[in-house]
Structure 1
Amino acid sequence: MKALVYEGVETLGLRDLPDPVADAGQSLVRIAASGICGSDMHAYLGHDERRPAPLILGHEAAGVIEGGARDGTRVTINPLVSCGQCTACASGRENLCPDRLIISMPPREGAFAQYVAMRDENLVVVPDHVPLEKAALAEPLAVSWHSVRLGLAAHDRALGQTALVIGGGAIGLAAALALKAQGIDDVTIVEPNATRRAYLSDVCGAQAIAAATDDYAIVIDAVGYAATRAMASALCSPGGVIVHIGLGEDTGGLDVRRMTLQEITFIGTYTYTRQDFRDTCAAIFAGSFGALNWIERRGLDEGPQAFRDLRAGTVAAPKIVLDPWA
């Protein structure tokens, strides 16, 4: 099979590799679409020690089962693999499993390839009316669905029903869509990149601004840098909630004194539960996230240039999806 392999800092190569073999309880999935995630970019830049080279990156994927009893079944992939036995797994919080892995973390290769072998329990059937490139958005949408669910559970709606999302990439846009799908209508995205901001407004119908000065009851930081955490702690209204998804850098930014005095809740969140993933898929299939027309599709051989373009900040669309067969 052809695969896009991370070979070193800012270096990707297209290689011919053996097809993976599905073990018992697994299926071989012929990948139709695989999205580039911010974590893939972190690895590409050499910022993720969990993803050492050489490695096939990519974990946002959908395709068709090839072979076996379910041959021809269209599926999207929940890439989070957990042990299924620990306290977290038993309580339905698989994302906190101490042994959790996402494909694209050794020893599990990722989905920037023509085939992936995946556990059957991690595959969700996609209806025929849903394009597989949109079904591949289930993973980033599930990240945001989970974060919004946690934020709303901690939020007193009597204190306000406005939300600010910091960052207009795929996770930020997905958070805005998840907020609306879960009942918050007044949602603003702050995005400093003018090209991306115009795309969010013109194509996605989002309320996107260059800078924010008002207070918001819910603030979602989908970037995760010291500057964005500072923005979140300054703009969250008293009694509000900050939900922190981004993994840009580790420290700095939060105004802990203001958060303490104003009783602002801070929630760090990572990935999603298995139920969140299924709920997200159901919302996609029902059209609850809208048209999901914010995808730029490229071939797998265009992957290296796609990463360079993302690095340079010249991509307007929130999500680039690679087609391994183009």
Structure 2
Amino acid sequence: MLAAIFKGNEEIEIVDKEMPVAGPDDVLIKVSYCGLCGSDKRLFYQGSAIVPGHEISGVIVQSGANVSLKAGTKAIIYIPLFCGKCVECRTGNNNRCPNINGLVGWQLPGGYEEYLVVPARNVIPLPPDISLDEGVLLLDTIGTPAHGIRLCSKCVGHPATGKAAIIGCGPLGLGSMLVLQAMGCQEIYAYDVAEDRLGLAISLGARPLPLPAQNQEATFPLIIEATGNERGRQLALDLVKAGGAVLLLGESNNPWIIKPSPKLRRKDCFYIRSFYFPLNEVDDNFKIFREKRDSFKKLISKVGSLLDIETMHKEFCAGKTIKPLIKLETVMHEVK
């Protein structure tokens, strides 16, 4: 099979690799699509010892002896390698499993290869009405922000009762905006330094966030910070109202130092970090997708083959695409 090796320094090599073999509790997946994610940028720049890719859809082609899932099942892949036995796993909160021993696409080979072996418990079957390319959106683009927003609602009330601001209109920010709309939030403001991304947010129903922040009153009960950079995080702290919540979705390897000030000390608010969604929210996430299907599909900005993966990562890192997908297919005759 073909697989993409991330060598670092923005170089990706396509290699011929032995197909994996499913164990008794595993399934062999023929990968259909794998979505590019902002966290892949680190691997694109620094390299990876394993094949990356963690927003994966595909079809089961073989099941292990202990697995009831049938060949031909369409599915998406849940990436935390949870134990399935602890209290958190038994209640469906698999993202909180204290025994997670890795992630698909990080410690276990990911979706930038044609075939993939994963534990059967990490397979989420897709309903018949959701296609394999749409299924990719159910993972980081919908699942992660939806879980974070649900956490925030426990502190500040349901999104339908207030307004929200989105800082950063990449896939997580735009996904958050559409999740909020599906949950009934009517007043959503957005900010991004890139005019085309902000324009897409506005075309999908957001209002432009008036800046500079210091000239406006902090009135937002919910702020979603989806950039991971210092400026975005500080802007979120400035705009959240007392008693509100800042949902931290943006990732960065750089440390975040919160500088104390009288204004910040006196702001009684919540800072909430969401890692990934639990399996007990999957059915609700299907409903969110169906509610805003046409808008979510507009986030799929490009579809290319595995041979396009290096160019597509360069475009993605330059901010030229939102949620590009690699469509896995057999192209052995094209590889030299």
TM bracket, shorter-chain basis: 0.7 to 0.9
Counterpart for residue 117 of structure 2: 117
- The 10-residue stretch of structure 1 (80-89 or 172-181) with the greater mean CA deviation from structure 2: 80-89
Task: Give 2:271's aligned amino acid.
Answer: F
Query: 1:84-233 maps to which residues of 2 (within 5 A)?
Result: 84-90=84-90, 92-100=92-100, 101-106=102-107, 108-140=108-140, 141-156=142-157, 161-202=162-203, 204-208=204-208, 211=211, 213=213, 214=216, 215-233=219-237
Whole-Å separation in 1 of the counterparts to 2:259 and 2:236: 8
Contact 1:228 1:253 in 2 (8 A): no
Whole-Å separation in 2 of the counterparts to 1:207 and 1:25: 48
Aligned counterpart in structure 1 of residue 309 of structure 2, from 268, 281, 303: 303
Contact 2:31 2:56 in 1 (8 A): yes
Contact 2:182 2:291 in 1 (8 A): no
Q: TM-score, normalised by structure 1?
A: 0.88
Contact 1:5 1:13 in 2 (8 A): yes
Aligned counterpart in structure 2 of residue 54 of structure 1, from 46, 49, 58: 49
Whole-Å separation in 1 of the counterparts to 2:103 and 2:311: 24
Contact 1:191 1:209 in 2 (8 A): no
Counterpart for residue 268 of structure 2: 263
SS state at 1:149 partner: helix
Whole-Å separation in 2 of the counterparts to 1:208 and 1:34: 31
Structure 1: which 5+ runs fail to align?
A: 47-51
Aligned counterpart in structure 1 of residue 58 of structure 2, from 46, 50, 63: 63
Counterpart for residue 33 of structure 2: 33
Change (3 A) 1:67 1:127: same
Whole-Å separation in 2 of the counterparts to 1:212 and 1:150: 28
Counterpart for residue 334 of structure 2: none
Q: Tell me the alpha carbon deviations over residues 160-210 of structure 1, each in whole angstroms, 9 at most, x when there is no partner.
A: 7110111111111111111122232211221111122223334x4444558
SS state at 2:243 partner: strand
C-alpha RMSD over aligned residues: 2.5
Q: Tell me the alpha carbon deviations over residues 144-175 of structure 1, each in whole angstroms, 9 at most, x when there is no partner.
A: 111110111110469x7110111111111111
* Moved >6 Å (runs of 4+): none
- Give aligned pairs, total: 316
Question: How far apart are residue 94 of structure 1 and its match?
Answer: 2.3
Structure with larger Rg: 2
Task: Give 2:23's aligned amino acid.
Answer: D
Counterpart for residue 250 of structure 1: 255
Question: How far apart are residue 89 of structure 1 and its match?
Answer: 3.2
Counterpart for residue 49 of structure 1: none
